[in-house]
Structure 1
């Protein structure tokens, strides 16, 4: 099947084209619907939004991690629940709200979930930028009658990573929109009448952990600022806190009972609570250095220092504080392997209050400096394709354009039909018509061996391949996509991370010994592939039936009865922190008390 992205001059996918047409009609109606002053304000808010949407569209793509969401959405729409594989309850995605939003839109539109994610990313990013500028003007206008300049947007728009993660299939667009919406409620709280809007604002601000777990920091800072702005009494404070916690606490109960742990599986795989400062600071440097970000940040710092004391209100101070805390957390947890992705929310937060700066002699000079930097950044400065060190931080958009040989790899078809990948092995196994486990030969590149699947496996096929998104596309929905790194495989996620706390690629520190996969998905007596230690397979088989590891397997594979839900819920704390040795022989000794 040929993707429309491969045809020169082809029309864009339907949802993107329709979104562009609607945006054009809305802009055309503005002069009719709005008086002159409001039209000017709307135009000022719309220009950055349209700019980021255009650049996001020009850089549209979906990476392998975006395809992980696609598999979960397809399983959900197939009636299997929010899982990566029907036989195992594993939360493979960190953006809870994004997963459900893409599922709802894909169900309504009947469209490829990857294309839906790209469309939503562009629209939500643009809406977030427009709302950010409008909110900044609302916050600053009472303090100054001078024209207001959106200088903060000059820091965001020239950064290539900002264009890249307008799409990608990941939740960055939703993150941008949520931050802007939460800030709008915070700013509006100063003039709000009654309690309904305050409670609604607290509920929206409290959604941070469901957008991404680490955004709980932003929620906390904004809630403190909301309290400082409104100074509610004890009863109203309790009401605001209850509204903020209702959705995340309710989902946490569901998560603990359904999945058996307290956090999404990628957080366990990446050991997000462990400090990995060296790698995290390298990740920050990989983001800041190519764009010379120290230049605009110093200019913004000078503007903040110059600002009159009356401008340092809680609603204007909260976003930069939250942004700095966000950056600190990302650096502490070791960053990511995708250039800039996890640092973009912090940059947006720092820039928010400066998206409406009164025009003065000082701000004219600052604007000229930022404009000069922005031109150089947009036209000349680009991140390296790879960091070239042990951390392997990549410009992922460029990497997947090269990997797929497609300038805009946004559909499942494009990723499924890559020249290399898992598809040939899966098709061969399907043609043979036998239930098999496909496992890569150690040191054999993309060559696979088919082993007879265990009789009680409850799946017609299982396959282990390191590119989980590609695996999830080509593996049938009633098959099992085995993740060798642990983002969607509890057995791999609960390994102990040993000896790689300051080195290695983020999120790739727990490659599972093939012996565990053979032991988990085949019956005793199955021939062991070349390069796999038979003694390790025997030890792994024994360990899988011992102690806490056996209970971990039961928590995600037993039928979800009320009793199982309760057992998962009450044991979720200990199960979240459970780790076992990566070496099967050591694990057998520890778990089975040999």
Structure 2
């Protein structure tokens, strides 16, 4: 529609809004859907320009290779350890790898496509949320603009981690809640959170509660819906407990996912919000969106509030556990949730003013606002993860890490290659017998994804941090860098994997022997049996029934103290 009337100078913004917000079927209405998909196109381009593969992404790759090789969902053959935090992401990569595709490439580009799909679903959800306005007109990408301006969002659009899948599921679950709150399929989709990431169970619970408030089902339908939502997560949890012998993936144990480190977590929040002045756009949005603001277009209250409540809970949990070692990564799902209700907003006076403020901030954020430790690990231990791997690999888009810019990793790779070429089972701290399985290299290295890439599948890539090594995961922390605050002493690794009489220089034989004796006692012996014994029906049942006690087991790093505690005798 067109108009021959020209607005007079000084005419209030509402008049302009009235001209643009025509009745349904007007010229803006035809463009609402294409405009809603523009943020997905933008993040696709931005993510592609910053594409990369993280070391933690390569942890997934090794597990997928083990599955495709017939060794099961393990990191090292012969030891049942769940190193993949994102269950669904792992199995999606298995499906990609089964076609013959390169797994790392599939992880990088698959994450990008899922991120873009998540932005598209968020746009569709915003359109559906505002269907109740019964008014056409343009929409402004306020919340979308906040996300698109943040460099960490560009970085983690790829990375090989489950972040892209999380973005897609969060938006898809919200769209299902908004569009089809009474459908059985919505129950199933909302229940998938724990399989995307264990901490996203919080989102599942909030969204399922919101679905109940909207649908108000009978108690029979409510129970049936709960069963539909919980069927897959509960079935997998039973498998996890019986197969791995634990209640959660191993990274959750080694990172102590139930602890409270509020001060450190608040520091992680400041590390994210401070450099980008994130409070600026959030204040603009809150001023209009909150009930005290000037709201001119009503939306369904429960579907609009559900992602906000879920996002706040996600942020509180991240702060509680002390944050993460990757800059901004763990706050991105919560921020995405917080912005879903305002991902697209109507062209009103209040929202136009907010959009102008957000737009000015977005230009500054996308162009000049940066963290002060780009390409490095910051003073608090939080890393510009992508920047670090770009520098260490001397490549703008690292995929298969060669670490051309990091001599230490290249030296380790050569050592593993030489040991494997010798045909003898070698522990890089000494020598180890070929116990249950084919002989191979046993490498011990902190950079687990890289180590898992260079160590053959017939060998064992051990990390003293415990992301894929059960013994290390159950050790006590050393209060180090977030996500890396466990470091199993070498005496334990030699006692667990080495052979008698072959000690590396510098190790105390008495401490190694104390560790060997401890490993034969009580909870140590049960932990080794749960993860290394053949998986018979009896072993599965013992793993299942003992998973809670096994998950809570911790031991002192000092082998002498640990032996006394486990064996109940003198050292």
- What residue is the counterpart of 1:292 in the other structure? 277
Q: Is the 8 A contact 1:384 1:394 kept in 2?
A: no
Cα RMSD after superposing both structures: 1.9
The answer to whether the 8 A contact 2:434-2:440 is kept is: no
Shift of the alpha carbon at 1:283?
0.7
SS state of the match for residue 92, structure 2?
Answer: helix
Equivalent residue, structure 1, for 2:454: 474
2 CA distance for matches of 1:457 and 1:423? Answer: 25
- Does 1:530 pair with 2:505? yes
1:103 correspondence with 2:103: no
Match for residue 550 of structure 1 among 506, 514, 525: 525
Aligned 8 A contact 1:283 1:336 in 2: yes
Q: Which residue of 2 aligns with 1:497?
A: 477
Give the C-alpha shift of residue 535 in structure 1. 1.3
Aligned match for 1:589, one of 557, 564, 567: 564
Picking from 492, 500, 508, the partner of 2:484 is 508
Matches within 5 A, 1:205-224: 205-224=190-209
Residues of 2 paired with 1:473 and 1:416: CA distance? 15
The reply on whether 1:230 has 2:193 as its aligned counterpart is no
**For residue 483 of structure 1, what is the aligned residue in structure 2?**
463
Partner of 1:403: 392
Given the alignment, which residue of 39, 64, 70 partners 1:48? Answer: 39
**Residue in structure 1 matched with residue 550 of structure 2 by the alignment:** 575
State how far apart, in whole Å, the 1-side matches of 2:351 and 2:358 are. Answer: 10
Give 1:385 deviation, angstroms: 2.4
Q: Kindly indicate whether the alpha-carbon contact (under 8 Å) linking 1:287 and 1:339 is maintained by their aligned counterparts in 2.
A: yes
- Tell me the equivalent position of 1:27: none
Correspondence list, 1:20-99, <5 A: 40-99=31-90
1:278 to 2:257 alignment: no
- Secondary structure of the 1:311 match is coil
Q: Deviations over 1:70-126 (max 9, x none)?
A: 111111111111100011000011011001111111212x12211100111111111
Paired residues of 2:244 and 2:530 also in contact (CA < 8 A): yes
Query: Which sections of structure 1, spanning at least 5 residues, go unmatched?
Result: 1-33, 193-197, 440-450
Q: Map 1:413-452 to 2 at 5 A.
A: 414=402, 419-421=407-409, 422-439=412-429, 451-452=430-431
1:478-526 deviations in Å (ceiling 9; x for gaps): 111111110000000011225x2xxx31111110100001111122222
The structure 2 residue matched to 1:539, chosen from 485, 497, 514, is 514
Structure-2 change in CA distance of 1:263 and 1:148 (3 Å): same
Cα drift, residue 144 of structure 1: 4.8
Confirm or deny: 8 A CA contact 1:140 1:356 kept in the other structure: no
Unaligned runs of 5+ in 2: 1-24
CA distance in 2, matches of 1:593, 1:179: 49
Cα offset for 1:310? 4.5
Report the CA distance between 1:587 and its aligned residue.
0.3
The verdict on how the C-alpha distance between 1:308 and 1:536 changes in structure 2, with shifts beyond 3 A counting, is farther
> Aligned in 2, Cα 1:455/1:132: closer, same or farther, shift over 3 Å?
closer
Post-superposition offset of 1:358 = 1.5
| Structure 1 CA distance for aligned equivalents of residues 477 and 406 of structure 2 | 32
Instruction: Pick the structure with greater CA Rg.
Output: 2
- Secondary structure of 1:433's match? coil
Change (3 A) 1:417 1:84: farther
Show the counterpart of 1:369. 357
- 1:346 counterpart (334, 346, 362): 334
Q: CA separation in 2, counterparts of 1:358 and 1:577?
A: 50
Deviation at 1:436, TM superposition (A): 1.1
TM-score, L = length of structure 2? 0.91
- Determine if contact 1:409/1:415 at 8 Å carries over to the other structure: no
Structure 1 residues 144, 203: closer, same or farther in 2, change over 3 A? Answer: same
Does residue 1:520 correspond to 2:505, yes or no?
Answer: no
Inter-partner Cα distance in structure 2 for 1:520 and 1:41: 62
